[in-house]
Structure 1
């Protein structure tokens, strides 16, 4: 019984270690540009490895998971218009979903304009997306950004979440609890 337990434990740990080395097919970066005084554009860029593609902003009723952005703004910041795509996605009929769907291959660029009522602010943005290749899709992924807009110090009334103080459970903690 002990040998069997050790075998299963070793297999579980090996699988977890190998899974950590699987490279994600999409990576995200962002840049900020000043449009005019106290107005900024945040440009989010997804770079995708071949043959993967990512869906556009949708929405798709009964279809795939579209790319979705959410912004956590301080009271002193306002979204100007909706997020937009830099270039139009490739549109194609998808027989699996029975509808025309837009997607990006190689890269997708999304731009959001934000206006500040103070010189500096900390913006939190979250993007949720899904990638597919010709035969399968990966589960939706989430990427979080903390973006500082402006030149001066961040307004004192804003707080930053302490990620270091939020321990995530490790595999060892789960195994030892069992």
Structure 2
């Protein structure tokens, strides 16, 4: 009896050790720069033949969906939209009686982020997922993305406005005559008399009487 119990525990320990060693998904990561403050965090997974990984969007009531955690966001960076996924497959599960969404052979996760903190050098991400064949394994993977230091901000350049040359016209004005009196210059203004009106002569008639 004791021998059978020992064999059972040994078998369970072997299965547990095997489950820890088996890694049906091999992960890599890369950073794609969009601008000085925006980046794509890309996580690539290669899935062994016959295995599949469940999507973060697989319906409730079925296998465990993928869960992605972006750590230390507050004050450092913000997510732009949801994490995009590569091509998935939809299949009906006889066990759970729901349609499940999964990856086969390849999984690519892409998350766009905007850096908001001045001293951000790293972004840490954890991906927890369920990978299945005839049995399922719950696994997770940690990623660290090195963010390049922001040295300068993009600024808009305002085009220079060309100078407009304005021609200046000088108009000569007659200066009044000046007469010095006791060493003091005085302005002498010549008065021009208005032309006199001619008086109209009254017409008169002379009557002459001739006497013969």
Under a length normalisation based on structure 2, what TM-score does the superposition of the two structures give? Answer: 0.59
Give the aligned CA root-mean-square deviation in angstroms.
2.8
Structure 1 residues 36 and 94: alpha-carbon distance in aligned structure 2, compared to 1, 3 A threshold: same
User: Can you give the 5+ residue segments of structure 1 that lack an aligned partner in the other structure?
Assistant: 154-178
Residue 141 of structure 1 is aligned with which of 135, 139, 142?
139
Q: Distance in 2 between matches of 1:64 and 1:80?
A: 27
Give the deviation of 1:137 after TM superposition.
1.4
Give the deviation of 1:20 after TM superposition.
8.3
Q: Distance in 1 between matches of 2:21 and 2:112?
A: 34
Larger Rg: 2
Which residue is equivalent to 1:78? 78
> How many residues are matched?
142
Structure 1 residues 115 and 52: alpha-carbon distance in aligned structure 2, compared to 1, 3 A threshold: same
Is the counterpart of residue 99 in structure 1 residue 114 in structure 2? no
Task: Write out per-residue CA displacement over residues 65-92 of structure 1, whole angstroms, 9 at most, x where no aligned residue.
Answer: 111110013422111111111x330111
CA contact (8 A) 2:58 2:101 kept: no
Higher normalized contact order (CA 8 Å, seq sep 6+, divided by chain length)? 1
Which residue is equivalent to 1:48? 47
CA contact (8 A) 2:76 2:120 kept: no
**The residue matched to 1:108 in structure 2 has which SS?**
strand
CA contact (8 A) 1:53 1:132 kept: yes
Give the deviation of 1:99 after TM superposition.
1.1
**The residue matched to 1:130 in structure 2 has which SS?**
strand
Under a length normalisation based on structure 1, what TM-score does the superposition of the two structures give? Answer: 0.69
CA contact (8 A) 2:93 2:99 kept: yes
Which 4+ runs in 1 deviate beyond 3 A? 14-23
Structure 1 residues 59 and 17: alpha-carbon distance in aligned structure 2, compared to 1, 3 A threshold: closer
Give the deviation of 1:127 after TM superposition.
0.3
The structure where helix makes up a greater share of residues is 1
